Amino acid sequence: MTTPTPLLDQIASPADLKDRSRAELKQIADELRAETINAVSVTGGHLGAGLGVVELTVALHAVFDTPRDKLVWDVGHQAYPHKILTGRRDRIRTLRQGGGLSGFTKRDESEYDPFGAAHAGTSISAASGFAVARDLKGGDNRVIAVVGDGALSAGMIYEAMNNVGGMHTRLIVILNDNDMSIAPPVGAMSHYLSRTVSSKGYRQVRNLGKRVARKIGLDELGRKAEHYARNFALGGDMFDALGFYYVGPIDGHDINALVPVLENVRDMDNGPVLVHVVTQKGHGYAPAENAEDKYHGVSKFNVVTGEQAKASAGPPSYTKVFAQELIRQAEKDDKVVAITAAMPGGTGLDLFGDRFPNRCFDVGIAEQHAVTFAAGLAAEGMKPFAAIYSTFLQRGYDSVVHDVAIQRLPVRFALDRAGLVGADGPTHAGSFDVGYLGALPGFVLMAAADETELQRMVATAHAIDDAPSAFRYPRGEGRGLPLLDDPQPLEIGKGRIVRQGSTIAILSFGARLPEAMLAADMLAAQGLSTTVADARFAKPLDEALIAQLAKNHEVLLTIEEGARGGFGAFVLHNLSDRGLLDKGLKVRTLHLPDVFQDQDKPEKMYERAGLDARSIAARAIQALGRGDERALKLIVG
């Protein structure tokens, strides 16, 4: 049998997909799937979602005139095949690496990425903005939003659809339904019906029928008859109610079904349209299809076997330590419940759910609801732990303020992925929670320096029944310390001194404590005596500890894995309010830089942020102002 000539090598941009036969597009899709699998096997990253939209991606770029037509992806990790087709194939093996391609859509990376998307639920809102701007400027291009991989559980999607349907904006929404949750059976009849209702002929007959019905006074009856008949056969009643012309469902892996429907929809000239496409996450790669998570996120892997590279055995992750400690608290207290927003595995609550299935709640991609749901549980006397990535809690901040903080409800927030997160880059970094939670009256805010401290902070949060609290911890493994058999709650607002010195004081908040200790060793080698303290709390602050450090040292450095305006700012406020800045104390606040740092290995990111041991030691010597160039050179290297 003759091997077909490879076609993907001929695709430098979407323009090269035009006028291709269906058979050629199918072959390109097959080659694109293989290229995506091969690339991610080298880099790691999100795989299952991209494999599910390979044919859809090819069809969209073949039918529409991108980048003139705006293609807005929801949950940008679906977009690896899109990147390959839009001139980035030569860089696809730099995905999620330092200096390489982002793992999500990114405006300054390509003109084919009109809108950045790393968090779910934004596509229709953004696309509606593009569509209205087009109309105001008198343009005629199309705007397409691709919603998928769970984004339909995000409330913002329905807010946007309600608004768009009311405005009758010309907009196309592709619903990539990859879990069959709302899909009726897919087959030849549904494909036929989808092509029919999206065709120009059907719409012309439909409009003629409407005009006749109006003339003879049967317009309402005719409207209802068509509505019920079409939705009986096709589904989509909800979308029709929101003002969208519903088309579907269609098989998202069948080029012969996709292309004619998309062509028909492209040529519609009024109002919003929703095309319901049914796909399979991980489609076309057996290891992904057979995996429970469909290879949502993978490390480097063997393409033939699908076996992922295993990290060397090390200490348990902070996430696992949290989950185990929460299970311990729940075993002792049946009021303990856990809430997550579509991340049971990422937050460790899958372990909690296995042990307490009736006390674990995954609310979907709905952080705002998760927070207020937890508030309602707390108001009724339960002890809710809301385990949400720091970067995702930002989406529920209004609920944190109004539904939790103002009412002083004891919701406990477990903030995973605090600090920099490496390959996921700026969209997933936990940079801002110290500032945005620390600004709220009555909040108790903690950060774990190591895994045993995390154990104690879970116990502390459990014990707090009169105020909201949060504890933050990083991604990755702990330090390897022996875990406590019976962790006791901390005294609220009390830190600890872990090394005593006399000249320089380093006050660390969170997991930079080991780097602070290394910096103290470097300073000691240069004859500079250094105290290292673990603040434990950003709110309430340990005012006695801060005063002690300020009065007995020449230099005070604060260290945190958060943005400017966080822990260091709180310490400065405290020192200023108490007149301790007037005594000649030299204070420096070390925090994440005032930029969004692109993805890289975490250690390199922290080095660039000035939060590694050498940078900490160098800042201390500079603050002393003694001109000790030799010591500074030794430390900086």
For helices 629-636 and 513-525, the axis angle rounded to 10 degrees is 140
Tell me the Cα Rg of the chain: 28
CA–CA distance, 73 with 105 (Å, rounded to integer): 8
Active site residue 367: yes
Backbone angles phi and psi of 316, in degrees to 5: -65, 150
Q: Is 46 exposed, middle or buried (0-12, 13-18, 19+ CB in 10 A)?
A: buried
Sequence-distant (≥ 6) Cβ neighbours of residue 389 within 8 angstroms: 343, 346, 347, 415, 416, 417, 428, 430
Task: Find residue 251's DSSP bridge partners.
Answer: 278
**Sheet with strand 172-177: strands edge to edge:** 70-73, 143-148, 172-177, 273-278, 245-251
**Of residues 325, 367, 453, 561, which has the active-site annotation?**
367
Q: Which residues pair with 277 in a beta bridge?
A: 176, 250
520 neighbors 579 (Cβ within 8 angstroms): no
Strand 469-472 to strand 412-416: parallel, antiparallel, or no bridges (unpaired)? Answer: parallel
Note the Cα 187 to chain centre separation in Å. 34
d(CA 404, CA 415): 16
Look up residue 96 and give its two tokens. Answer: 């999620």
CA distances (Å), 504 to each of 524, 587, 591, in order? 10, 10, 18
Please give the backbone phi and psi of residue 154, each rounded to the nearest 5 degrees, phi first.
-85, 125
Ramachandran angles phi, psi of 120, nearest 5°: -80, 155
> 3-state DSSP call for residue 622?
helix
C-alpha to C-alpha distances, 191 to 179, 185, 195, 199, 366, nearest whole angstrom:
19, 10, 6, 12, 32
- Given 83, 142, 395, 608, which residue is catalytic? 395
Query: What is the spatial distance between Cα 9 and Cα 32, in angstroms, rounded to a whole number?
Result: 10
Instruction: Please say whether the beta carbons of 67 and 79 come within 8 A.
Output: no
Backbone angles phi, psi at 482, to 5 degrees: -65, 130
| Helix, strand or coil, per DSSP, at residue 340 | strand
**Strand ranges, E, within 63-126:** 70-73
CA torsion 393-399-400-403 (nearest 10°) is -150
Given strand 469-472, what is the order of strands in its sheet? Answer: 360-362, 336-340, 383-389, 412-416, 469-472, 444-447, 537-539
Active site residues: 281, 367, 395
